[in-house]
Amino acid sequence: MAEEVTVRFRPFVERKPTLRKAIARGGLRERAEITALDNVSFTVGKGEAFGVIGPNGAGKSTLMRVLAGTLRPDEGKAITYGRTSTLLQLGVGFNAELSGRRNVYLGGLAAGLRKREVDEVFDDVVEYAELWDAIDRPVKTYSSGMFARLAFSVGMHLNPDILLLDEILSVGDESFRHKSEQAMQDLLDRSGTIVFVSHNLDKLAEFCDRAMWLDRGRIQEEGPSHTVVADYRSSIAHPGRSE
Amino acid sequence: MSTATTGGVAYRMRRLRIYLRDLWSRREFAWYLAAGNIKARNASTTLGLFWWVLNPLLLGLVYFLVFGLLFGGSRPDDYVAYLLSGMFVFHFTHQSMTGGANSILQNTKLLANLKFPRMVLLIAAVIESAIGFAASLVVFYAIAIPTNGIYPSAATLWLAVVVPIHVLLNLGLAALVARVSVPFRDITNFLPYATRLWLYLSPVIWPLSLLESSDTLAAVARYNPMFQVIAVYRTALMGNPFDPSALVSSAAWAIGVFLLGSALFVTYENRLVRYL
């Protein structure tokens, strides 16, 4: 079960301070603040798929990082129950110079598995990614589809309770896409939770039960995915009418 | 929110325990990262790991040619071993510092996506450097035996004491450098000059007899942790007389720098992602 209570923060992105600017300013803090997420609260339950939509810069990826626990909000907090697997970017922890085999271990260990646990799922990961013999070749020799399949396969085999996905439903070719959707459905069936960000509105509406529309860090609307997607679409078609 | 106050000692101790437990559970990850980086380097360059040894070796050769001739008569008989032992020891520290900072700066993707104790990356960088250092010790004897007739002896067992101390010092330094160079990228440009200066201030190139000329110089030089660490290494590697005070101050420096560096780094690591 994932339950998120008030993910809110104000002075969010500070510009990278350089020594020169800091000296020029006489202090270390940049004052100009950007509020990437402004008082966002929502709850996602077990066995539920939750979609997040919105224009570029709405705060979707920031929200995912908060849920993943890599970014601490300035105010509020995110609470997750169970093992979280993040597929926000593909191939996190991978080293392209190394073989696929080694990268499965790197990716799995990076995500928090023990080596023993990676040993157990290793064959399944390779089988699922349809890589077979290529697993011992350096990852830099892989096609982008092979790379994506391996990365996705590692993420799915972490056996997560919560899966965070950021715009990677379009992984691989048609048959692999079908397979990945099946895997996500399986996760939901065993009461896992999926939160995902996508610009593919049709797919999102079809896959998710509920959705949230973010704009400039604020929740515009939250509810059944079809309604939210339809409202988001009409706001794009008729800008200014909804506000 | 916890019931204990955020600033309370009990609360901090509990946080520290959780951090250390997380860190321990990620030990295999640290090892795989370090081994992976070495493997990747071996795959991308022909000489691979050997560059770790070759860099200080070539630099040592340059210094040998320049300063060896310059110091001429005052040069100790075992100058080759003297110079190389210092170069390799110093290089281990240098590599840990730059490697530690880079492990944070160049792993943006990992840091943004996955939650784990960030010290894992620094530890991996130090492990990687330690493997290179181990290789360089083999090369040390390969050169010191034919040139200066210096063989491993019972004193070499001091390595078991001084290497852990050195590793702790390097980890602390890596944490300090990472802590300051994440918000201030300028530091990474500045670092090579700072370490080069430190190298010249340490008894690597110049013979210890240089200190006999001035009491103040001798007193000041000893405040350099590297001075003390290298002294213990020269006991271990070259059979120089053992100096207990060098060992004690090395350990004190290492513990102090490690505690300071890791405290500054760990209290900062939650904010890391914002600057990457």
**What is the per-residue pLDDT across B48-92, written as a single tens digit (0 to 9) for each?**
677 788 888 888 888 888 877 776 666 777 888 999 999 999 999
Q: What percent of chain A has pLDDT over 70?
A: 82
Nearest chain A alpha carbon to B115: A70
Average pLDDT, chain A: 80
pLDDT band for B194, please (50, 70, 90 cuts): very high
B153 assigned to some structural domain: yes
Q: Which of B113, B186, B274 lies at the smallest CB-CB distance from A86?
A: B113
Whole-prediction pTM value?
0.85
CA distance A17 to chain B (A): 6
**What is the per-residue pLDDT across A42-101, written as a single tens digit (0 to 9) for each?**
888 888 899 999 888 888 888 888 888 888 887 777 888 888 888 777 778 888 888 999
Does residue A183 surpass a pLDDT of 80? Answer: yes
B119 assigned to some structural domain: yes
CB B275 within 8 A of CB B183: yes
B45 assigned to some structural domain: yes
pLDDT band for B178, please (50, 70, 90 cuts): very high
Residue A85's pLDDT is: 82
Helix (H, G, I), strand (E, B) or coil at B239: coil
Cα A6 to Cα B98: distance, rounded to the nearest angstrom: 39
CATH topology of domain A83-160: Helicase, Ruva Protein; domain 3 (1.10.8)
Q: Using alpha carbons only, give the angle B218, B223, B224 rounded to the nearest 5 degrees.
A: 100
B4 assigned to some structural domain: no
What range does the domain containing B204 cover? 9-275
* Overall average pLDDT of the A227-243 stretch: 77
Does residue A35 surpass a pLDDT of 50? Answer: yes
B103 assigned to some structural domain: yes
CA distance B138 to chain A (A): 27
Beta bridge partners of A163: A85, A194
Query: Is any Cβ of chain A less than 8 angstroms from the Cβ of B275?
Result: yes
Beta bridge partners of A4: A42
CB A212 within 8 A of CB A221: yes
CATH topology of domain A1-82+191-243: Rossmann fold (3.40.50)
Q: Which of residues 24-53 of B touch A (CB under 8 A)?
A: 25-26, 28-29, 32-33, 36-37, 39-40, 43-44
Cα B24 to Cα A80: distance, rounded to the nearest angstrom: 23
- Interface touch A17/B109, C-beta < 8 Å: no
Helix (H, G, I), strand (E, B) or coil at A74: coil
Question: CA separation (Å) from A116 to B28, B29, B128?
Answer: 10, 12, 23
B120 assigned to some structural domain: yes
Closest CA to B254 of B221, B222, B228: B228
Cα A19 to Cα A10: distance, rounded to the nearest angstrom: 24
Q: How many domains does chain B have?
A: 1
Q: What DSSP assignment string belongs to B60-86?
A: HHHHHHHHHHHHGGGS-TTHHHHHHHH
**What is the per-residue pLDDT across A94-130, written as a single tens digit (0 to 9) for each?**
888 889 999 999 999 988 889 999 999 999 999 988 8
Residue A26's pLDDT is: 55
Q: Using alpha carbons only, give the angle B223, B259, B192 rounded to the nearest 5 degrees.
A: 60
- Interface touch B28/A28, C-beta < 8 Å: no
A83-160: same fold as A1-82+191-243?
A: no
- Residues in A closer than 8 angstroms to B111, CB to CB, are 70
Output the CA torsion sign for A119, A124, A130, A132: positive
Q: What percent of chain B has pLDDT over 90?
A: 48
Residue A13's pLDDT is: 45
Residue B71's pLDDT is: 65
- What count of other Cβ atoms lies within 10 Å of the Cβ of residue B154? 7
ipTM at complex level = 0.81
Query: Is any Cβ of chain A less than 8 angstroms from the Cβ of B190?
Result: no
Q: Which of B28, B114, B185 lies at the smallest CB-CB distance from A114?
A: B28
- Interface touch B29/A88, C-beta < 8 Å: no
pLDDT band for A21, please (50, 70, 90 cuts): low
Nearest chain A alpha carbon to B273: A71
Does residue A241 surpass a pLDDT of 90? Answer: no
Q: Where are the domains of chain A?
A: 1-82+191-243, 83-160
Helices (H), chain B: 9-25, 27-44, 50-71, 79-105, 108-113, 119-148, 159-181, 186-201, 215-221, 225-238, 244-268, 272-275
B2 assigned to some structural domain: no
- What count of other Cβ atoms lies within 10 Å of the Cβ of residue A70? 20
